[in-house]
Structures are given as C-alpha cells and as structure tokens.
Homo-oligomer: A and B are copies of this chain.
Amino acid sequence: MPGLRNPQLNKNGELIHLLSIERLPREIVTHILDTATNFLSVNDREVKKVPLLRGKSVFNLFFENSTRTRTTFDIAAKRLSADVFNLDIARSSTSKGETLLDTVDNLSAMAADIFVVRHSQSGAPYLIAQHVAPHVHVVNAGDGRHSHPTQGLLDAYTIRHYKQDFSRLTVAIVGDVLHSRVARSDIHALKVLGCPDVRVVGPRTLVPADFAQMGARVFHRLEDGIRDADVIIMLRLQNERMSGALLPSSQEYFKTFGLTPEKLRWARPDAIVMHPGPINRGVEIDSAVADGPQAVILSQVGFGIAVRMAVMAIVAGNEA
C-alpha cells in the first residue's frame, strides 16, 4: 500500500510504536536485535538496571490475562528504571461500561509514556496507537490471532544468536499455526530478515493452505516439514483445541506431530528446538527433547527480556 503511512514509524522513519513486524524495515528489526545484545549484559550484571527510562511511566494494559508475558514486560521496564503500573483491567472502569478509548484517554492524561497492550481482539493496539496523544508509545503484547511482535523478535534474536546468518536457513514452525499469533509474527520476522525457507507444519485443520500467501511452505507431515531444518519452532497446543472438532485427541496429536528424539533426527544434527512456552510436555513436545541438548527454550526467555528492553528503550527515545 504505497503512500499509506506506517503508523509504527514517525516522519523520519523511526520506530514510535511496535504493533506488528509486518511492514517493518529490515534496518529497524536489526537495530532492535542489536540493541537487545547490549541489554543482554545488563541482565548478567550485579546491578541489573540502567537509567534509560527513569521517571517514565509504563502501563501494562492486559485486556486478556497473561501473567507470564506481563511479567517479562514488567521486568524489562523496571530494569530500564521505569515505574510500572499493572492495571487489573477486568476489575477496572472498562467493566463499568467505559469504552476502550475513554480508558486509554484517561491513562494518557495521567502522563503515561508507554502502553503495553494485550487484547483478545486483533487490531486493538492499532486502534489505541492511532488514538493516543503524541507522547504515548504503544507496544503490542499480543492481539487476537494477529500478531505478537516481541515474541517474533525474540525468536529472531534466538535464531541469530545460534545460527548467525538467516540467508541459508530452513525454519519449520510446527503445530497450531492457524490460531497462533506467534507463528504469524515469526513468519514476518524471518521474511524481513531474509530467511529463504520458512515452513509451517501441522494437520490440515490447523495449517490451512493459504499460509503460502505469507511466503511460507505448507506441510502436513512432520517428517516432510522438519526434514533438514536448522530451526524447529514448536507451538503450544491450546487445551481448548484438543477435544474439539479440530483434533481427535492430544494423544493422537502427540503421536503424529509431537516432537520426540526419534523424529528430531529428521532435522539437521545441529538443529535447535524452540518453543514460546509454556510447554505441554507429552502433547506437542517430549520431555527428552524439551530438556535435551538441542532445546534453547530457556535461552529464549532470557533473550525475551533483553528484546523487550530494547523495544521500549527505542520507542521511548523517538518522537511522534
């Protein structure tokens, strides 16, 4: 859509909101990852704090509950010395009938600097970003099935950390791709960074053919999908899918798509195994793989803090 301004960037092309990895220039993605490398060392220091966001107010607006993701943003913000306010939205004014945008206006008026937004409706962070006063920056922490850009970035960071160069990689994303905002953000990140072979792998009910339009190759057999892969990203199978019309049972799913040490041999010997967590042992991944030498799942967690610090530090440093 030439001519249509990207709401994530200011006139100078600098990042002011992080809403989606889609349409982000490669330089910006790379800049985030490079900045995260600098912050990674902060997490290993005696005093795990830098004063970059001192006196800034970060609001966690989680319209959909997620203790884990909220906590990672909370940690990242506090390590940047920001003040963090966790709003219990379910118990707040929105439940008294206040509109989303009135809530946002009110919080803006309290001199907020960053809104970290999770919402069950795709597009809610865009709506908020278009509405807020210029001094507020919006970071999408997951909206519906649409996007989870900091997860996409931390996955990209993890892959770069272990594999350096994206230009020859085969990356397989396995599982419930259809319902996964992680998968969509991963695909966008990998495409932007020049990964030539991105594959989505799973049963037809969870991996429809139209993912090809995003530039991913679609596979319905695990053996085909992860053959010679450098990176395997296993997706969490939500409990609510297991007993529905989409899947026969979790045991059946594990038999066909669960990653075991035997099946992992189809991939390259130096393949890494990733997972956004929390993992379902014995459903999408065998414990021997999750705890094995090729799993980098806990490294992802640590990188995630650094990537979120980078995103918040970058957007807060740019003016609308």
Complex: how many Å from CA A56 to CA B98? 34
Which of A87-128 touch B at CB < 8 Å?
Answer: 87-89, 91-93, 96-99, 102-103, 105-111
Does B83 lie within 8 Å of A78, measured CB to CB? yes
Query: Which B residues lie within 8 Å of A65 (CB)?
Result: 91
Which are the 3 A-B pairs with shortest beta-carbon distances? A47-B55, A67-B92, A109-B301
In the assembled complex, how far is the CB of residue A88 from the closest CB belonging to chain B, in whole angstroms? 6
Query: Which B residues lie within 8 Å of A268 (CB)?
Result: none
The range of chain A's interface size is 35 or more
Complex: how many Å from CA A106 to CA B102? 36
Q: Could you mark each residue 50-85 of chain A with 1 if its beta carbon is under 8 Å from any beta carbon of chain B, else 0?
A: 000011110000000101100110110011000101
Q: Could you mark each residue 273-289 of chain A with 1 if its beta carbon is under 8 Å from any beta carbon of chain B, else 0?
A: 00001111100000000
8 A-B contact pairs sorted by A residue (CB < 8 Å): A47-B56, A49-B83, A67-B88, A67-B89, A68-B92, A106-B298, A110-B302, A111-B302
Stretch at the interface among A8-16, A38-46, A217-225: A38-46
Complex: how many Å from CA A19 to CA B107? 26
Decide yes or no: A111 and B298 within 8 Å by CB, A93-B277, A96-B239, A239-B97 being known contacts.
Answer: no
In the assembled complex, how far is the CB of residue A253 from the closest CB belonging to chain B, in whole angstroms? 15
Does B49 lie within 8 Å of A278, measured CB to CB? no
Decide yes or no: A278 and B96 within 8 Å by CB, A48-B57, A55-B49, A110-B305 being known contacts.
Answer: yes
**Additional A-B contact list (13), CB under 8 Å, known A65-B91, A106-B298:** A47-B56, A48-B111, A49-B54, A57-B75, A67-B88, A67-B91, A75-B110, A75-B111, A96-B278, A98-B277, A102-B277, A102-B281, A105-B298
Complex: how many Å from CA A79 to CA B91? 24
Query: Which B residues lie within 8 Å of A279 (CB)?
Result: 98, 102
Does A87 lie within 8 Å of B67, measured CB to CB? yes
Q: Does A251 contact B (CB under 8 A)?
A: no
Query: Which B residues lie within 8 Å of A72 (CB)?
Result: 110
Q: Does A6 contact B (CB under 8 A)?
A: no
In the assembled complex, how far is the CB of residue A82 from the closest CB belonging to chain B, in whole angstroms? 10
Complex: how many Å from CA A87 to CA B70? 10
Does B43 lie within 8 Å of A48, measured CB to CB? no
